[in-house]
Amino acid sequence: GQLRKDLGKILRKLCEMKDVEIIEAHAMLDHIHMLVRVPPKICISSFMGYLKGRSAVLIHEQHANLKYKYGNKSFWSKRYYVSTVGLNQKTNEKYIREQEADDRIRYIISKRE
């Protein structure tokens, strides 16, 4: 919906401001998968803090109703996963693209059990 679209715009803008290229990204109901190219001059942990912190503030500004769901500006969890990608970049791109369908299948199966 609109939240997903706005979040995409915000993440693209924030990445652009740091010269980070989004290669592939997909927003799920409760998390996001992103394959990005980060310039070597940028510390990954600093970038993740910036991306999660600024995007939380901006998304709360655009969707004030989220404060009732997420409380005091905490939109993201404190954790994140980072891995380097070399020769298997295409595999990672495909994985991210197919996550929504995979998650939907897992949800249907878990509801039947």
Catalytic residue among 80, 81, 95, 107: 95
Task: Report residue 36: phi and psi, to 5°.
Answer: -130, 155
Q: Is 95 labeled as catalytic in the residue annotation?
A: yes
Which of 26, 42, 1, 21 minimizes the C-alpha distance to 101?
Answer: 26
Q: In whole angstroms, give the CA distance from residue 83 to residue 70.
A: 28
DSSP 26: E
Query: Which of the residues are catalytic?
Result: 95
